[in-house]
Structure 1
Amino acid sequence: MQLYRVLTGPDDSSFCHRVSEALSKGWQLYGDPSYAHDPVAGTMRVAQAVVKTVQGAKYSSDMKLGEQ
């Protein structure tokens, strides 16, 4: 089974650490990152999709994807 999730956050080192943590848990980058300006906060936001293949698991909408 292949899982998909999108990580989002401010364009700073905390976001890079979230992506690095996901990669260390076996997730793989899926596509290019996306950037957008948040006019309310006055900052840039970034998003990165990641995927992971999990053997022997059955998908459920109750799954905590970040814990896979």
Structure 2
Amino acid sequence: MTAPPNGLPIYRLLTGPDDATFCERVSEALALGYELHGGPSLTFDGSRVIAGQALIWRATHQQS
């Protein structure tokens, strides 16, 4: 597959509270064929930790 499925962009930045739901979102993107781009970013908004993770789609990536 040369393009991401479902019209998704080549570059994605997922953000959200650092919890199981965020980890599931990143895991789903990896299962689609995205790759991590750098490490995660973390910040504190005064009450909770917010995570961010960049993902990229490699045009040469092949799904089985």
- Do both proteins adopt the same fold according to a TM-score greater than 0.5, normalized to the shorter chain? yes
> Deviation at 1:48?
0.2
2:52 alignment counterpart: 47
Percent identity between matched residues is 45
SS in 2 for 1:9: strand
Q: Which aligned runs of 4 or more in structure 1 are off by greater than 4 angstroms?
A: none
Question: Which runs of 5 or more residues in structure 2 are unaligned?
Answer: 4-9
1:65 alignment counterpart: none
- CA deviations 1:38-58 (Å, max 9, x no partner) are 12xx00000000000247xxx
> Contact between 2:35 and 2:58, CA under 8 Å: does it hold in 1?
no
* Aligned mates of 1:32, 1:11 — CA distance in 2: 14
1:21 alignment counterpart: 28
Question: Which runs of 5 or more residues in structure 1 are unaligned?
Answer: 56-68
TM-score of the pair, normalised by structure 1: 0.71
More strand as a share of residues = 1
TM-score of the pair, normalised by structure 2: 0.75
